[in-house]
Structure 1
């Protein structure tokens, strides 16, 4: 999906709530439920594909391989993480072109220094604002006349305070960002203040286990948020379900301590087995 669809949804009255997709089974589930957008997180993409932490270990080649495949199968616009731009300004320009070619609707760039770290970890530190402005200028130039949106994320709240983070986002808006991402506000009051002082769409990260209060989309909308991502809810729930099954199996319970299981036939349908069987029948295959 291109950025055109996401731009149209941003122009509407309602908040956009985007669940996190971290592998293809999670994408199929999100497709089936139906959302206005999907969010491909660097944290969870790295965790799922590599079993590594979100500290810049995954590079552009890793991200584009995962996220391009998501975009190809997603029924909703895909918002994709791009960390700090994967190195030099030349690397960033290359990444912007690659994300746009892959059909990513919006590309998220953050103002951390390299190597980055998850924004809901206490060690997250921002680079100078001027460095982020250079990144934005390069991103806008590399996008050219394409329709992919540029998301500018600031991680400055923790070290520099809310006012400084808002000032950064205002500066990023003036230098080409289409959507502004305030990472890790600590309260409803902080969210409301940021939304009132920013004149472009505000994106919020409702990360389960993080610093920001987890609210229903309607409550974020009342606070002035235009787009909210929920990157951690599904993978954390899936991890707990997997642990329950493995723990139960170890103790002799093949049903995983009584946990329910997703229907196998339904999973096969989501994966497209019916289409394969129909093709075989049409052409006389086995």
Structure 2
């Protein structure tokens, strides 16, 4: 509940919130340690970890479990990708209840046709606005915590144009969306136009290799954007390092040259809070063995 209130207050603050994407609970700890505002949980990353493309193959159970795993290890608010809601409006309602129970602070639903695809790929399709309105209404009606943030993502910009995407977003706000996620906008000015038109917080997706430029946080803040996510950045950094490391081990027969770039054992143990577990163990289980009487 405190995390949800923090997200609500952050969105109302007028400043830009920065949410890097965590691909493990441990990376969420590091995001918090580095002073970011929150943690994003990407559906594309969840699929990639399972060796799957981002085309709607993951399940509500997998998404909720990942939300629970990550939200339980950080004090920051977590915002999760709920794809198209995993079915019809009744399924969307169950999705919201499941994500609330998982402890996340909010989620976003999208207006793509199911099965969906990555928002920065060509060939995607969107449902009729009325169908997405039903999804959003189902989500807003189902939540039991009024502070749980419901975001509505529209992929219509690259299909129907900016004006049509804005009209869709307005309808989604009227249906109960607290936040709008306009996918694949092309300029900072488009974000500014979107924010002025919809009247609720707007999210910017700064994913690499996509249709949007990688705008600086200051540019997005000046455009009135409320939250920026970096959904796949940490996974891509890690996978790039892993590929280079595997090549070096294959060539050199040892990982010795990689050691200077590794996180140390001491730093890993610090993030894992080994010392706190040790103190807990000592406080609870430290006792004297009674002497036997002859």
Kept in 1: contact 2:65–2:102 (CA 8 A): no
Alignment check: 8 A CA contact 1:244 1:256 kept: no
Secondary structure of the residue aligned to 2:204 is: strand
Say whether 1:260 aligns with 2:261: yes
CA RMSD after TM alignment: 1.7
Secondary structure of 2:125 counterpart: coil
In structure 1, what is the equivalent of residue 278 of structure 2? 277
- The aligned residue for residue 77 of structure 1 is 77
Deviation at residue 278 of structure 1 after TM alignment:
2.6
Q: Which structure's CA Rg is the greater one?
A: 2
Q: Deviations over 1:60-86 (max 9, x none)?
A: 011001111111112210001100000
Q: Secondary structure at the match of 1:270?
A: helix
Aligned residues: 284
> Quick check: 1:100–1:146 contact (8 Å CA) kept in 2?
no
Once residues 8 and 70 of structure 1 are traced to their aligned partners in structure 2, the CA distance between those partners, rounded to angstroms, is 21
What secondary structure does 2:72 align onto? Answer: helix
For the structure 1 residues 249 and 146, does the alpha-carbon distance in structure 2 shift closer, same or farther, using more than 3 Å as the test?
A: same
Partners of 1:247 and 1:25 in 2: how far apart?
25
SS in 1 for 2:229: strand
> 1:279, 1:99 → 2: CA distance?
30
Structure 2 residues without counterparts, runs of 5 or longer:
288-294
- Structure 2 distance, partners of 1:141, 1:197, is 25
Corresponding position of 1:98: 98
In 2: Cα distance, 1:110 partner to 1:136 partner = 9
| Structure 1 residues without counterparts, runs of 5 or longer | none
Q: CA deviation at 1:257?
A: 5.9
TM-score (norm 1): 0.94
2-side partners of 1:127 and 1:13: how far apart? 32
Partner of residue 130, structure 1: 130
Q: Distance in 1 between matches of 2:72 and 2:257?
A: 34
Other-structure match for 1:55: 55
- Report the Cα distance in structure 2 between the residues aligned to 1:141 and 1:69, rounded to whole angstroms: 26
Q: Is the 8 A contact 2:23 2:41 kept in 1?
A: yes
8 A contact 1:17–1:37 mirrored in 2 = yes
- Cα distance in 1 between the residues matched to 2:110 and 2:256: 43
Per the TM alignment, residue 258 of structure 1 is displaced from its structure 2 partner at its CA by 7.5
CA distance in 2, matches of 1:235, 1:259: 20
